[in-house]
Amino acid sequence: MDFAYAPAPESRDVVDIRPSYGLFVDGAFTDGHGEPFKTIDPATEEPLAEIASADASDVDRAVAAARAAQEKVWGPMPGRERAKYLFRIARLVQERSRELAVLESIDNGKPIRESRDVDLPLVAAHFFYYAGWADKLEYAGLGPAPRPLGVAAQIIPWNFPLLMLAWKIAPALAGGNTVVLKPAETTPLTALAFADLCRQAELPPGVVNIVTGAGETGALLAAHPGVDKVAFTGSTAVGRSIARTLAGTGRRLTLELGGKAANIVFDDAALDQAVEGVVNGIFFNQGHVCCAGSRLLVQETVADEFLERLRARVSTLRVGDPLDKNTDVGAINSAAQLARIRELADAGEAEGARRWSPACELPSRGFWFAPTIFTGVAQSHRVAREEIFGPVLSVLTFRTPAEAVEKANNTPYGLSAGVWSEKGSRTLWVAQRLRAGVVWANTFNKFDPASPFGGYKESGYGREGGRHGLEAYLHV
């Protein structure tokens, strides 16, 4: 039998991309007053649509709409009614999941297998989960009479556009807040499709407002005196500047920022499982994952064998068309991100680490970066210290559990970590000592609406998901 590769492209017919999109404010699509911009398909560099850009007056309008809706409609509404709107949204996401998955892959470049099997099911699950909290807030153990904060400004990144939207909007709405959300400049389409979905759900106007634009629009929104809370997911540099902007204002802030997670493989780990976990940890979503396992710490006694198996497995990854159902690694989201990955990978070589990539043919158009592994990495190398946000793994070794913990924690970040061992007591010993908000043991990059997510140290503060995620949107 011949198991040679044959493409299995997902149909684009399920999406209908309009030539241009406005802002979604107070329940209607309206023009923006900034300079419109184009969103492109990173796999082909073809323009997809022209997107309105919100200026200060548009942000004002969106915040005013959110305020009015919060005070007159959404805040006073009984929790059980808010819950039903959120359940409706969850159902609509499920009904439109194929369309939204394809749209996400086209605009973001991520493999359809991931948008279809990971992003969209989690989006629906998140709304479903928080829908159930909307009428039970006083039972969340946060305080006897939790109250909404008011209007939340939410700024999300391009790596999981619709999933990050769900993480932000679902708990905010469940708590009785209204939102003004700004999707990333390079991936606005699914947020705008979500706006349409809000209309289908007959969500009252002004409860969800979507303003598109670049960093300036985000800065205007974060600094707006009419919002009560800012939630940001993105780079640590921007997170710092938002924290500075909000200094002294008393406005609430949660930040989910960068990471440089260690994935620790002990010599007693189930090696093939660990190989899968390490591959998933860094090559999932092209490594555009804040919690990516970008530093492999492998115990010296098994390092050679592990790396051999890892290289063999990485050699089977299929890089290419995001809409091909066979694809494992899709397109890099933007030219700017590709340049950043290249710059850091080049620095890795220049600083003396050994670079390896499997032989793989990359498409001639679009933004691509082959899966890359650096060995001989020192903790001082930039590829071991800086967040690359791409499919680049840095390999370090250790001898003792204490050394593994020491190296894993040797970073200003503290978002996530992984531990691979068949010995439960050792796994828990290590998990206790890792200064990271999420620790995956014998798994990696798992997400669930019931599971709190967020960082220690310079990976930000606040949690999203679970009971803890509600606290970010309530006075308790």
User: Which spans of this chain sit near another protein (rule: CB under 8 A)?
Assistant: 125, 141, 236, 239-241, 243-244, 246-248, 250, 255, 257, 424, 427-428, 431, 434, 436-443, 446, 448, 450-454, 456-458, 460-461, 463, 466-468
C-alpha 281: how far from chain center: 14
Q: How many CB atoms lie within 10 A of CB 140?
A: 18
Distance CA 71, CA 77 (A): 10
CB of 475 to another protein, least distance (A): 11
C-beta of 44 vs 442, nearer to another protein: 442
Q: Which of 256, 387, 458, 464 is catalytic?
A: 256
CB of 58 to another protein, least distance (A): 27
Strand partners of residue 423: none
CB of 438 to another protein, least distance (A): 5
Strands 208-210 and 229-233: what pairing? unpaired
Structure letter (DSSP) for residue 432 = H
Q: Which of 10, 185, 290, 291 is catalytic?
A: 290
161-174 helix and 189-200 helix, angle to the nearest 10 degrees: 40
Per-residue b or e along 151-181, where b marks 16 or more CB atoms closer than 10 Å to that residue's CB: bbbbbbbbbbbbbbbbbbbbbbbbbbbbbbb
Catalytic site residue 256? yes
The single-letter code of the amino acid at 187 is T
Distance CA 186, CA 144 (A): 42
C-beta of 325 vs 446, nearer to another protein: 446
C-alpha 321: how far from chain center: 21
| Closest to 251 in 3D by CA, of 217, 277, 280, 228 | 228
C-beta of 47 vs 141, nearer to another protein: 141
Q: How many CB atoms lie within 10 A of CB 19?
A: 8
Q: Which two tokens stand for residue 446?
A: 């798992």
Per-residue b or e along 272-311, where b marks 16 or more CB atoms closer than 10 Å to that residue's CB: eebbebbbbbbbbbbbbbbbbbbbbbbbeebbeebbebbb
Question: What phi and psi, each to the nearest 5 degrees, are found at residue 212?
Answer: -100, 160
CB of 365 to another protein, least distance (A): 38
CB of 319 to another protein, least distance (A): 27
For CA atoms 81, 87, 92, 95, the dihedral sign is: negative
CB of 410 to another protein, least distance (A): 14
C-beta of 24 vs 440, nearer to another protein: 440
CB of 149 to another protein, least distance (A): 15
C-beta of 346 vs 422, nearer to another protein: 422
Is 57 in contact with 218 (CB distance < 8 Å)? no
C-beta of 266 vs 456, nearer to another protein: 456
Catalytic site residue 198? no
C-beta of 47 vs 424, nearer to another protein: 424
User: Which are the catalytic amino acids?
Assistant: 256, 290
